[in-house]
Amino acid sequence: MPQMRLTMRKIREILRLKFELGLDNRQIARSCAIPHSTVANYLSRARASGLAWPLPVEISDGSLDAQLFPAVPVRQEAPLPGFVSIGTWIRTGVAGACSLFHLCVRFGFGPNEKALVQPRKRFRRV
């Protein structure tokens, strides 16, 4: 689950403590009662967006938020493969399993694609 963002007041305080008072990240983290990695994250976002201190008076919370957190492009869905051809590949044996594995990787069917094609040893030979 994604972590909740800090309030704009706290973000402005992080920027002020860093650029006006010159504190290091751990001191800012103790002052604001947040992890030092969060401080580093917000400062790197500020650097990447080109924000300068002092912040312009006319900058609103909404525009500061938009500069620090730009919109993420939406990932386009890949077209689904033909399921008839998948059935044919499965029936062909090992080569078919390899083809199915590559197909799963290409279309992004989860991080554990190997589990989809590895045969399970449910029964032991006696």
Number of structural domains in the chain:
2
Range of weakest confidence among 13-17, 57-61, 97-101? 97-101
Tokens of 66: 């938009």
Tokens of 9: 């007041």
The predicted-structure confidence for 53-95, as pLDDT tens digits, reads as follows 898 888 999 999 999 999 888 777 766 666 666 666 666 665 5
- What pLDDT, on the 0 to 100 scale, is given for residue 6? 93
Residue 37 corresponds to which amino acid?
A: S
Q: Is residue 47 part of a domain?
A: yes
Q: Is residue 3 part of a domain?
A: no
Whether residue 13 has pLDDT greater than 90:
yes
- 50 and 30 assigned to the same domain: yes
Range of weakest confidence among 4-8, 24-28, 32-36, 109-113? 109-113
More confident position, 109 or 78: 78
- 63 and 83 assigned to the same domain: no
Q: How far is CA 30 from its chain centroid?
A: 26
More confident position, 37 or 110: 37
Q: Is residue 2 part of a domain?
A: no
Tokens of 51: 């924000």
Range of weakest confidence among 17-21, 70-74, 77-81, 112-116? 112-116
How many secondary structure helices (H) and strands (E) does the chain include? Answer: 7, 0
- 41 and 90 assigned to the same domain: no
- 111 and 87 assigned to the same domain: yes
- 50 and 95 assigned to the same domain: no
- 64 and 78 assigned to the same domain: no
